[in-house]
Amino acid sequence: MFDKFSATSSNWDLNSDSLSLSIVVPVFNTRAYLRQALDSLVSAPLSQVEVIIVHDGGADGSLALAVDWVRHTPMRACVIDQANAGLSAARMAGLARARGRFVGFLDSDDLADVAVLAAMAEAGEGMACDVVLCRSVVLESNTFAVSRFYDAHIWDLIMGGRRFRRVTLDQEPRLLRLEPNANPRVIRRSFLHQVGLAFPEGLLFEDMAPHVHGLARAGHVGLLNETGYWYRVGRPGKITDERSARRFDAIHSVGLAIDAAAGLSREACANLALQAVRLLYWCAQNVTNADRARFLREAIGVVRRLEPETLRLARVAYSTDERERLLLGAFATGAHRVLYDMAGRRRPAPWPWLRLAMHPEGRTVVKLGLRALARPALGAARRIGGKLRGAAHA
Amino acid sequence: MIEPRGLRAALGALPAALPAGLAAEDAARLRAGFYGPLHAAAGGESPSALYVGGRSGLEALAALHRSPTATVLVVEPDAWLRGTLADALGQHAGARVVATVAEALAAAGGRGIGFARIDAPFCDVDLLALLERQGVGHLCGLFRPDRIDPLALYRRSRDQVARSFFWREADSPLAFGGDAGPVEVEVSVVVPAYRVSAEIDRCLASLAAQEIERLEVIVVDDGSPDDTGARAAEWAARHPGRIRVLAKPNGGCASARMVGLAAARGEYVGFVDGDDWADARMFEGLYQAATLGGAEIAQCGFVEAHADGVDIPCRDAAGGDGPGGLTGLVRDVREMLVLRPTIWRRIYRRDFLLGSDIRFPEHIRRFDDLPFQFEALARAKRTAVLPDPWYFYRQGRVGQDVLARDDRLFVHFEIFDWLRARVSTWADAAIERQLLRVELNTHLWALGRIEPQFSAEYRRRAQRQLLANRVHLPPAECLAIAARMGRRAGGLMLGAAARHGWARHGEAAP
């Protein structure tokens, strides 16, 4: 792998002692979105922030656009060009050049609020936090409309209306249920090097293990209750939309995250379990039909590396809805066929549910499943009842 | 949902003179993403934000708290409110409260506007013309459909005014936006033409007359032995830049459509058969429905145009979310999967077709539109519908595929083999159920018209295929689905089960 500066802005070489934040932007064939992403990084306190664009191969003209942006921006910015090596490697290449006391990442098809990122770095410094997180929202690419990010309710629970919190993972184990994406956060650079935080190369869903590793080892974690990241969905060809064997990377990533969680509190592991189950089930819905059975077998295997008591705690104390409880119970008891039918939207086969009912942990699952099945039937009965009553009145 | 930076601080420091009720509404709007993703200027050493219609002043205040060096321009024609806002914002050096947009732009001093939010009473063509001269990073706000046409607003914002934009119709759920930049061709219409010399003039005349301006028509002459190609070339000469002709050796309708698709440059692609024609409103209407809905597919109704001049309109919109349910985005696209193949009444976003590799099977000589329709509708996330019968589907022309009554109908087995192989990798059980219904419908239709000497063999082959290699559906469920479709479907499926037994089904064992 080679890398070189393709362009640097006119003020790149100015004294960099005062740099508070370096933002690394890995780019691979995202020309249509790159301009908006980069523009969202142009900040008012220019001297504090630098932007490092890593062009990770690709041939759609992204490089020319990035070079042009760097030449004209008032920001301290550079472009590194390297042969395609994947998102994780591109991030690492950018990190190697970073000089800010904190570093953050922006995917080249997303948007950030740089004012929020800068405030996070400032809070991290002032409050002595190694990692500071912010909220994100979903941006629908085709309409530019925004919608709730799936961890919004966890943010609401954790913050309870506060503007900022400074916590440790032991105080706030629900940190592990926040989006494991590396982006909506800034990390102290010295901390990152000290704990050897690295993104596993060539792996999809690569953020999960470093997420756990980082939060576990951080002295303090800051939470800024402001929206700093817009996660774009619905564009063609996004990595995470790939329905392919690469989903198996998720199992590997969860395995690495569980390794990284060794020695953490049961509460923290329980929250990791919830995050893992959510990710794995979502992937199970999106693998090919031929791969689904094998995927679920391996996924159940990796989840069951966590202790049964941990999985029970996750279900009892930290699940926020019935669906989560059902998924957790099914993973915990190894109810492969139940998950297989749910993920493929198949008519559920009765015998796996019966077998599940024999299992002590499984009874709750069966109860929840029956309730879920009964709900439409009850609704129909109510409607019919209403109609009959209406007819009687008439 | 969103916690915009600066909002909390602005609420904490809200001057008492500002209208509190309106401020509460503004705060709720910012938190709900009412104006789209951004709420203040992203950019530059001196970011600038423009608020046309001052409202409570809260947004301007939040922008100033977000970035204290920002230039914030507020336009408020009402003198009393202007005075109040000026007092409230006066302590911030970068704030200016003025009466007209022209004054505000003069105050911006020729530098671009990073962010602009327009309130409903101010959104009109004149304002856009003013902003266009200045250039805007992100443009958003409310509009009233009686003052400006939504599609015109969309095009103008995208092509001339802003890098990204988000508009919401006042008092309506309609909202649209984007950051894709200007497009050269909005819709490409591919016209596969084979031996339609008598009909193609009407077809191309109707396409030449389409209201939509940025349309390209690609006629693919599929090796016609008659003068179809020459006639098309005449139209191309009359409408250079709008109509062009590609000639290829004969290879069937699917191959012609694929050649046209490969040559298309449009944001969306439509397919019009060489013997049919379209209402002048069709592609403008479809483009509006698709683009304002952010949909991959838009569909309108159609007319069966019979040779004796009788037109039978078909307006089978499938439950849109618009007022009255006849327009808007389809709530459950799966319901549309069982519609008869009518691919020509839709437009499809081109990057969606390419990205999902949705194609016409070139090796299959007829009915290639069935698998295309099924895959496109099954994979689309958003589909918009209109009831208007705008496509004219000519009936009863000699040589039409649908008139076949002989062993050419056996092509169905090839089609379903191909479609199943493609769909079975990703389809869930709900889609597989719909596919089974499509297969049964197709077979019943074919059995109803096929000549008697082919009937037994068709039935035998259909029954062999019906139960084989289902991914999700056990035979009992297949039977139940068929039985609910009626006696004939149930009978066909029962025969399949009796003939080939439960054992033949290839349900994947986990």
- DSSP track, B246-292: EEE----HHHHHHHHHHH--SSEEEE--TT-EE-TTHHHHHHHHHHH
Residue B470 CA: distances (Å) to CA of A337, B432, B441: 17, 8, 17
Instruction: Verify whether the Cβ–Cβ distance B45 to A46 is below 8 Å.
Output: yes
* Count of A-B CB contacts under 8 Å: 138
Q: Which amino acid is at A185?
A: R
What letter represents residue B305's amino acid? A
A130 — phi, psi (to 5°)?
Answer: -85, -30
Give the closest-approach CA distance of B72 to chain A in angstroms.
14
The answer to whether the CB atoms of A33 and B429 lie below 8 A apart is: no
- Alpha-carbon distance values, B284 to B188, B215, B238, B347 (Å): 12, 9, 21, 11
For residue A305, the model assigns a pLDDT of: 96
Spell out the per-residue pLDDT of chain A, length 394, in tens: 446 788 888 888 877 778 999 999 999 999 999 999 998 898 766 678 999 999 998 889 999 999 999 998 888 999 999 999 888 889 999 999 999 999 999 999 999 999 999 999 999 999 999 999 999 999 999 999 999 998 999 999 999 999 999 999 999 999 999 988 888 999 999 999 888 877 777 667 778 888 999 999 999 999 999 999 999 998 876 555 566 778 888 999 999 999 999 999 999 999 999 999 999 999 999 898 989 999 999 999 999 999 999 999 999 999 998 889 889 989 998 989 989 999 998 888 777 777 777 776 667 777 777 776 777 677 777 777 777 777 777 5
* Shortest CA gap A260–chain B (Å): 31
Q: Is A32 on the interface with B (CB under 8 A)?
A: yes
Q: Which residue has the tokens 């919190």?
A: A165
Cβ pair B8:A144 closer than 8 A: no
The angle subtended at Cα A48 by Cα A43 and Cα A53, nearest 5°, is 70
Report how far residue A223's alpha carbon sits from residue A299's, in angstroms, rounded to the nearest whole number. Answer: 31
Q: Please tell me which residue, A228 or B499, carries the higher pLDDT value.
A: A228
B187-402 folds as: Spore Coat Polysaccharide Biosynthesis Protein SpsA; Chain A (3.90.550)
Question: Does the structure's ipTM exceed the value 0.85?
Answer: yes
- The answer to whether the beta carbons of residues A223 and A116 sit under 8 Å apart is no
Contact (CB<8Å) A292/B33: no
Kindly indicate the confidence band of residue B508, based on its pLDDT and cuts at 50, 70 and 90: very low
Within an 8 Å CB–CB cutoff, is residue A97 touching chain B? no
The per-residue pLDDT for B506 is: 46
**Optimal mutation site among A289, A296, A336, interface B, most CBs of chain B within 10 A:** A289
Q: Which of A227, A235, A355 to mutate to test the interface with B (most CBs of B within 10 A)?
A: A227
What's the confidence (pLDDT) of residue A45? Answer: 64
The pTM assigned to this predicted structure is 0.91
Q: Which chain A residues have a beta carbon less than 8 Å from that of B137?
A: 39
Asked if residue B18 lies in contact with residue B25, where contact means CB atoms within 8 angstroms, the answer is no
Amino acid A135: pLDDT: 96
Nearest Cα neighbor of B394 from B475, B321, B312, B335 is: B312
Name the residue among A39, A144, A345 with its Cβ closest to that of B37.
A144
Residue B267, min C-alpha distance to chain A (Å): 12
The nearest CA of chain B is from the CA of A155 a distance in Å of: 10
Topology, domain B7-178: Rossmann fold (3.40.50)
* Sign of torsion over alpha carbons B24, B25, B30, B32: positive
Contact A305, A255 (CB under 8 A): yes
A393 in B contact zone (CB under 8 Å) = no
CB contact under 8 A, A345 and B36: no
Mean pLDDT calculated for residue range B141-154: 96
User: What's residue A243's pLDDT?
Assistant: 67
pLDDT value of residue A384? 77
Q: What angle do CA B371, B377, B380 make, to 5 degrees?
A: 130
Q: Which of A33, A226, A289 sits opposite B425 (nearest CB)?
A: A289
Beta-carbon separation of B33 and A146 below 8 A = yes
Query: Would you call A137 and B427 a contact, using CB atoms and an 8 Å cutoff?
Result: no
Do A289 and B426 contact (CB within 8 A), yes or no? Answer: yes
CB proximity under 8 Å: A 315-374 to B? 336-337, 340, 344-347
- Mutation target to probe the A interface, by most A beta carbons within 10 A, among B35, B38, B507 is B38
Contact (CB, 8 A) for B466 and B492: yes
Nearest to B355 among A147, A230, A237 (CB): A237
* Inter-chain CB proximity B37 and A139 less than 8 Å: yes
Q: Provide the pairing of β-strand A21-27 with A49-56.
A: parallel
The Cα–Cα gap between A226 and A228 comes to 6
- pLDDT value at residue B142: 97
Instruction: Specify the range with the lowest mean pLDDT, choosing from A253-257, B46-50, B253-257.
Output: B46-50
Q: Using CB atoms, pick whichever of A146, A234, A336 lies closest to residue B2.
A: A146
- Please tell me the distance in Å from A104's CA to the nearest CA on chain B: 17
Query: Are the Cβ atoms of B67 and A44 closer than 8 angstroms?
Result: yes
Among the partner residues A119, A148, A347, nearest to B429 by beta-carbon distance: A347
Contacts of B355 in chain A (CB under 8 A): 236-237
Q: Who among A42, A236, A345 is closest to B429 (CB)?
A: A345
Residue B480, phi then psi, degrees to nearest 5: -65, -40
**Contact residues, chain B, for A234 at CB < 8 Å:** 294, 381
Q: What is the enclosing helix (H) or strand (E) of A277? A: helix A266-286
Task: State the nearest Cα–Cα gap between B132 and chain A, in angstroms.
Answer: 19
Choose between B70 and A21: higher pLDDT: A21
When scoring A29, A38, A143 by the number of chain B Cβ atoms within 10 A, the one with the most, hence best to mutate, is A143
Q: Which residues of A touch B163 (CB under 8 A)?
A: 35-36, 39
pLDDT at residue B234 tops 60: yes
Cα gap B130→A85, rounded to integer Å: 46
Question: What tokens were used for B244?
Answer: 């062009």
Amino acid letter, A109: D
Q: Give the start-to-end residue ranges of the domains of chain A.
A: 244-378
Q: Who among B68, B426, B429 is closest to A346 (CB)?
A: B429
> Least CA distance to A149: which residue of chain B?
B1
Judging contacts by C-beta atoms under 8 Å, the chain A residues touching residue B6 are 115
**B1 vs A147: CB contact, 8 Å cut-off?**
yes
DSSP annotation of B496 reads H
The two three-digit tokens of residue B108, written as one number: 């911006």
Q: What pLDDT score does B333 carry?
A: 83
Q: Please indicate whether, in this complex, the C-beta atoms of B294 and A140 are within 8 angstroms of each other.
A: yes
Domain boundaries, chain B: 7-178, 187-402, 407-505
Query: What are B384-429's pLDDT values in tens digits?
Result: 999 999 999 998 766 666 678 888 899 999 999 999 999 998 899 9
pLDDT score, position B18: 85
Task: With beta carbons less than 8 A apart as the criterion, state whether B252 and B197 touch.
Answer: no
Measured in angstroms, the CA of B234 and the nearest CA of chain A are apart by: 37
Q: Which of A31, A38, A113, A241 to probe the B interface (max B CBs under 10 A)?
A: A113
> Are the CB atoms for B288 and B268 separated by under 8 Å?
no
Residues 6+ apart with CB under 8 A from A193: none
Name the residue facing B164 among A144, A147, A347 (closest C-beta). Answer: A144
* Token pair in block for residue A234: 């619905």
**Among B464, B462, B494, CA closest to B478:** B494
> Looking at CA atoms only, how far is residue B448 from chain A in angstroms?
32
Q: Is pLDDT at B46 greater than 80 in this prediction? A: no
Q: What is the pLDDT of residue A285?
A: 92
Phi, psi dihedrals of residue B284, rounded to the nearest 5°: -65, -45
For chain B, the distance separating the N- and C-terminal CA atoms, rounded to the nearest angstrom, is 40
Which residues in chain A (146-205) have CB-CB distances under 8 A to chain B? 146-148, 152, 163
In chain A, the N- to C-terminal Cα span, in Å, equals: 80
Mean pLDDT confidence for B136-161: 94
- A69 in contact with B, Cβ within 8 Å: no
Beta strand pairing call for A131-140 and B328-329: unpaired
